[in-house]
Chains A and B, each alone.
Chain A
């Protein structure tokens, strides 16, 4: 460990503040804010000082922290951000701030679930060094982001006379992006990771493959992408993945891969038709009712758990993916296994005719694949369906809670409760709150719903999870709603999800931001003020500013209000 410029000024500063017995004032009154709002923010006398032209950041040498430091140093010197509302801060005539000194207690902690992300930041008003202390380099990155948001104007000024002590409420704060329904270029994924880091989100859950396309090139199974990708230019090579993973490390964002199976695998059939049931069939034939659909949406195909070849391919896939993605979590999908897709297969028909059940078939699949994934030292995430599906599910005895995490998406808090009651850790992605694609109509063609006589109620516009989830809907959702304290501890965090039937790089930024920012704050420091009251009203102005800053940083977050509202605080509220 290399502590350059060890300094005691931080401690003296800290002591002064702690002893001065100033009541913590609500950050809404602060002239400059940090998103997500820090847990503790002491700023008794808001003012600012200049950042010296030769401002430096010192930090222990570290493969990932050092590039982050270089990046933030460039940013604080060059960003020259002008807030929408000019912060009414008195610029002190004190000497400019010349250094930020970073100390890290344990530079060896890897970026993994549960890593300590806490940090403390002190920016004195005297021009003495600012101090950032953290347990880990990942916490230091969070602190650097906070510091960068306190810098503004040209020449660069920084808020001073403040002390921040910050630690997230939830360890898992992520975004799920589906790159199978439509493809996203690597540069879009890098921009996503960058924006996540700005919002202190730490998990990019990459839903890489699905029935529609198989864009990831796997060394042991190159045919899957060669035949299953949309096109030669719509693939992720091993080098692309390495690039995204390494980039994530420099930004403190883990990349959790998902190869969905055994359902949502139609694209595998291009290379291996023999292991996929009901491939390339029309998803919901005219003569059948909904329970007899072949897939939950257009694009059919499920792996055949009774075919030995299935496991040869799956093993290669799991092995390659685990090699390419170092994260300890491996998402194995397991959502929406549809009965009829298996039932049309002769081998499965034979199994069923001998009093076998579809659930037993899923159990065969899980029993044959889960141990292999865990043998690679991975914790497996499944969608809740594997346990909670009404028809095809496995016995909890096959899903050891120490190796399995379930991700919930149906029935709001009810399913979260069911899962934790079964003793599992849970990641919350409730489609009632966290699905970013909802409220945009249906993508299925030839839909007569949209051809009704005028006057017919339009209802929710035929979006299965409509209406649109506003940033407030997301912000206000308590992911531990209805749980007791012990149960709540099993809630690791949450992920907003962008399914891409009607999304691609043209809309990625505005569909995700600033709504993912809303979740980012709710999971970092909560959605309530010191009195326990929901703080969505005061968050509005802060989010307007933060959304604008993201735009100036190259993230096309959508506006949440007219600019007029920012310039006339409170005037766009309702009091009813």
Chain B
């Protein structure tokens, strides 16, 4: 460990002691002239004012490969961004000398970026530049969060920084992520890099990459090159080993983990291009005219499930797992496990034989899990599955096959009810309730030849054909309490949440605007909560702050969508309703 400029850490402790002793009541950040998104847990700013940032402003930090990259980036940003807020902050620019230095100190430089790593930090910006600003954190990842906060306190041209403040910040939930599906439609690497960058701005720390599905297999695996060779949409719609390395390293520099998901045993139709022999019901019409919904081959167009009874399946799966684990260093590995559809297995002769001997589909899934889960955990990975593996009404496994110390379940159905069922079974849970966190909802169905859109005028259009409609507004996302209805002990099993963009009707043309600023809403709810000091939901005051934050993201190159007319920002409170909603 190498603390450069170690001596300055003394001044930090002096300032924090000074502030802690001054017994000033914490005032609500809504009145602050400049804000940080997500709102910090503790923000003392007794006398809001600002000082100039010296043109020679510097940031000193202990040497660390990823932190140094982040420091260089933020230094450039605070000197060059020259952000002009929509509402000019009514801050008194003091005549004090400009701020010369931000000193970063870190207790433990070696903590890796992993689930549960300490992301807390303290930031002090004195009211005079004759004293240095200080950022202290336990880990480099906490320091990155503090740097983002610092950057959001800087604005104007020449650069000015909010001063006379102390922030002590720590997230409520350790797992704050975004799922992006790159199989239904492809996203080039540059879009994924921009996603990570925007996540870091919002202090989100997990990019859950739903890489493959039945529609395409864009990931090039060294041991199984044919999967992408035949299963990718095209030659220029692949992620190479170098692409993944670039993304993972980029994520490290931004404090964002990448959790890969190779969904299986369902959602693997694209594997059949290379290995038809291990895939059941591949390339069949998903829901034949003569079949009931229960007899569909897949939950949406694009059929195919791995055959757990074929030995060859495990040769391929093992290669896939090993390659993916090699390419993605994160300790989480997402193995899918959702939406195994009975009829897709039932059409296979070997499975028919098994079933005819009183075997069940649940047993077949258990065979698959038992043959793959140990392989993944042997690579020192915690496995994330979608909740279906435990909660599906037809095809599920016994909890005994899923050791809670190795398995996390990600919930997406039935809102808080399934979260409760998962934690009540003793599992850690990641919440992606489709009622709240699915970003694709409310956009109609993508299936073709759908006569519901050809009804006579006057017909009730219902929810517009979106299975999870309506559209989840930023407020819907912001207000959701992911531990709703849980006891304190149960709540501890909730690691956090992920908003999800499944890409049947999304690709780079809409990625930014579908995700932002709605993912920002979750980012704050999971970081410092959705309530004010009195316990009241703070969505009303968050509106103005989110307007400003959305605008700042846009100026930073993220095409976040607007949530209100600009008029509302310029006329605070005037776009509110004061009439409570009556259902």
Closest partner residue, chain A, to B284 (CB atom): A571
Q: Does B467 have its Cβ within 8 Å of any Cβ on chain A?
A: no
Task: From B470, B539, B564, give the contact of A466 (CB < 8 A).
Answer: B470
| Known pairs A286-B578, A440-B471; A451 contacts B537 (CB<8 A) | yes
**A143-151, A311-319, A321-329, A472-480: which lies at the interface:** A472-480
B216 within 8 A of A: yes
* Interface: B374 (CB within 8 A): no
Q: Decide: A212 and B446 in contact? CB cutoff 8 A.
A: no
Q: A450-B479, A565-B448 are in contact. Are A534 and B454 (CB under 8 A)?
A: yes
Which residue on B lies nearest to A299, using beta carbons? Answer: B567
Report whether B448 and A444 are in contact in the complex, using a CB–CB cutoff of 8 Å: no
Q: Which residues of A contact B444 (CB under 8 A)?
A: 467-468, 470, 472-473
Give every chain A residue within 8 A of B578 (Cβ-Cβ): 282, 284-286, 446
A536 partner residues in chain B, CB cutoff 8 A:
449-450, 453-454
Decide yes or no: A571 and B566 within 8 Å by CB, A440-B471, A562-B184 being known contacts: no
- Which listed residue (B287, B289, B470) contacts A467, Cβ 8 A? B470
Tell me whether A509 and B509 are in contact (CB under 8 A).
yes
On chain A, the residues within 8 Å of B544 by CB distance are 445
| Cβ-defined contact, A564 with B301, below 8 A | yes
- In this complex, which of A459, A467, A504, A534 has the most chain B Cβ atoms within 10 angstroms of its Cβ? A467
User: Quick check: B563 and A502 within 8 Å, CB to CB?
Assistant: yes
Contact of B476 among A213, A230, A441, A463 (CB under 8 A): A441
Closest chain A CB from B456 CB (angstroms): 8
CB within 8 Å of B: which A410-463 residues: 412-413, 432-433, 439-463
Closest to B441 in A: A461
Question: Which one, B471, B554, B577, contacts A463 given CB within 8 A?
Answer: B471
Residue A531 lies at the interface, judged by CB distance under 8 Å to chain B? no
Q: Which residues 457-492 of B have a CB within 8 angstroms of A?
A: 457-458, 461-466, 469-473, 475-476, 478-480, 484-485
Which residue of the partner chain, among B216, B478, B581, contacts A452 with CB atoms under 8 Å?
B581
Q: Looking at the complex, which of B17-25, B48-56, B383-391, B568-576 is the stretch in contact with chain A?
A: B568-576
Cross-interface CB contact of A282 among B473, B503, B561, B574, cutoff 8 Å = B574
Q: Is the CB of A573 within 8 A of B509?
A: no
Chain A, residue nearest B475 (CB): A450
Q: Tell me if B120 counts as interface (CB < 8 A to partner A).
A: no
Contact A503 B562, CB 8 Å, known A448-B581, A509-B509:
yes
Is the Cβ of B301 less than 8 Å from the Cβ of A575? no
Is B449 a contact partner of A573 (Cβ separation < 8 A)? yes
For B283, what are the chain A residues with a Cβ–Cβ distance below 8 Å? 568
CA distance A553 to B286 in the complex (A): 33
Neighbouring B residues of A282 by C-beta, 8 Å: 574, 578
Partner of B575, one of A439, A444, A572: A444
Interchain CA distance A476-B459 in the complex, whole Å: 13
Q: How far is the CA of A541 from the CA of B449 in the complex (A)?
A: 11
Q: How many residues of B contact A (CB 8 A)?
A: 87
Asked whether A298 and B575 contact (CB < 8 A) given A472-B453, A563-B215, A574-B449, the answer is: yes
Instruction: Please judge, given known A-B contacts A468-B464, A510-B509, whether A441 and B473 are in contact too, CB under 8 Å.
Output: yes
Residues in B neighbouring A507, C-beta threshold 8 A: 510, 513, 559, 561-562
Please name all residues of chain B whose beta carbon is closer than 8 Å to the beta carbon of A446 when the two chains form the complex: 539-540, 543, 576-578
Contacts known (A447-B581, A454-B416); A476 close to B510, Cβ less than 8 A: no
Size class of the A contact interface (CB-based, 8 Å) = 35 or more
A440-B471, A575-B288, A576-B289 as given contacts; A467 in contact with B463, CB under 8 Å: yes
- In this complex, the member of A439, A440, A481, A540 whose beta carbon has the largest number of chain B beta carbons within 10 angstroms is A439
The answer on a CB contact under 8 Å between A476 and B453 is yes
Closest B residue to A474 using CB positions: B453
Interface string of B423-462 (1 = CB under 8 A from A): 0000000000001000000111111111001101110011
On whether A454 and B484 interact (CB within 8 A), knowing A446-B576, A557-B509, the answer reads yes
- In the bound complex, CA of A463 to CA of B465 (Å): 15
A455–B418 CA distance with the chains assembled, in angstroms: 12
Inter-chain CA distance A463–B475, complex, in Å, is 13
Residues of A within 8 A of B583 (CB): 452, 456-457
Chain B residues within 8 Å of A576, by CB: 287, 289
CA distance A562 to B296 in the complex (A): 19
Contact (Cβ within 8 A) A412 B577: no
Collect the chain A residues with CB atoms within 8 Å of residue B192's CB.
none
| B224 interface residue per 8 A CB criterion | no
Total A-B Cβ pairs within 8 A? 285
- The residues of B that contact A412 with a CB separation of less than 8 Å are 457-458
Q: How far is the CA of A162 from the CA of B543 in the complex (A)?
A: 57
Question: Do residues A459 and B512 form an inter-chain contact, with CB atoms below 8 A?
Answer: no
Q: A408 → chain B, closest Cβ, in Å? A: 12
With A441-B470, A540-B449, A575-B287 as known contacts, state yes or no: A562 contacts B503, CB within 8 Å.
yes
A558 to chain B: which residues have CB within 8 Å?
A: 505-507, 509-510
Inter-chain CA distance A444–B447, complex, in Å, is: 32
Q: Which residues of the partner chain A approach B311 to less than 8 Å between Cβ atoms?
A: none
Whether the pair B453, A470 counts as a contact (CB closer than 8 A) is: yes
CA–CA, A469 and B443, complex, Å: 8
Asked if residues B466 and A467 are in contact (CB atoms below 8 Å), the reply is: yes
Measured between alpha carbons, how far is A440 from B464 in the docked complex, in Å? 12
A540 to B301, CA, bound (A): 15
User: Given the complex of chains A and B, what is the CA–CA distance between A387 and B510 in angstroms?
Assistant: 39
Interface string of A538-576 (1 = CB under 8 A from B): 001100000000010000111111111101101111111
Interface residues as binary, A298-317 with B (CB distance below 8 Å gives 1, 0 otherwise) = 11000000000000000000
Residues of A within 8 A of B535 (CB): none
Does B579 sit within 8 A of A, measured CB to CB? yes
CB-defined contacts of A433 to chain B, threshold 8 Å: 457
Q: Does B565 lie within 8 Å of A501, measured CB to CB? A: yes
Contacts of A475 in B (CB 8 A): 453
Binary contact track B262-299/A, C-beta < 8 Å → 1, others 0: 00000000000000000000010111110000000000
- CB of A342 within 8 A of chain B? no
Would A450 and B575 count as touching, CB distance under 8 A? Answer: no
Cβ contacts under 8 Å, B448 to chain A: 537, 540-541, 561, 565, 570, 572-574
In the complex, whether B333 has a CB less than 8 A from a CB of chain A is no
Which one of A502, A506, A570 contacts B559 once the chains associate, using CB atoms below 8 Å?
A: A506
Point out the residue from A285, A466, A551, A568 that lies within 8 Å of B509, measured CB to CB: A551
Q: Is B185 an interface residue (CB 8 A)?
A: yes
Asked if A449 and B565 make an inter-chain contact with CB atoms under 8 angstroms apart, the answer reads no
Chain A residues whose C-beta falls within 8 Å of the C-beta of B462 in the assembled complex: 467
Docked-complex contact A470 and B449, CB < 8 angstroms:
no
A197 to chain B, nearest CB (A): 20
User: Can you name the residue of chain A whose Cβ is closest to the Cβ of B554?
Assistant: A506
> Which residues of chain A have C-beta atoms less than 8 A from B453's C-beta?
470, 472-473, 475-476, 536
Residue of A nearest to B565 (CB): A181
Shortest Cβ distance from A191 into chain B, in angstroms?
13
A463–B442 Cα distance when bound, in Å, is 11
B258 to chain A, nearest CB (A): 23
* CA gap between A504 and B554 in the complex, in Å: 11
> CA separation between A444 and B581, bound complex, in Å?
12
Interface string of B491-517 (1 = CB under 8 A from A): 000000000000111110110110000
**If the complex has contacts A183-B566, A443-B563, A575-B288, are A563 and B539 also in contact, measured as CB distance less than 8 A?**
no
Are A470's CB and B465's CB within 8 A?
yes
> Nearest 10 CB-CB pairs, A to B?
A467-B464, A461-B470, A441-B473, A470-B444, A450-B475, A472-B453, A537-B449, A446-B540, A564-B215, A212-B567
* Beyond A459-B470, A556-B509, A563-B184, 20 extra complex contacts between A and B, CB < 8 Å: A183-B566, A286-B579, A450-B476, A453-B484, A454-B416, A473-B444, A473-B464, A482-B457, A502-B561, A506-B559, A506-B562, A507-B513, A536-B449, A537-B449, A551-B509, A559-B506, A565-B448, A568-B283, A575-B449, A576-B287
| Interchain residue pairs with CB less than 8 A apart (6) | A444-B576, A467-B461, A468-B464, A558-B510, A562-B446, A574-B287
Which A residues form the contact surface with B (CB < 8 A)?
A: 181-183, 211-213, 230, 280, 282-286, 298-299, 412-413, 432-433, 439-463, 466-470, 472-473, 475-477, 481-482, 500-504, 506-507, 509-510, 534, 536-537, 540-541, 551, 556-565, 567-568, 570-576
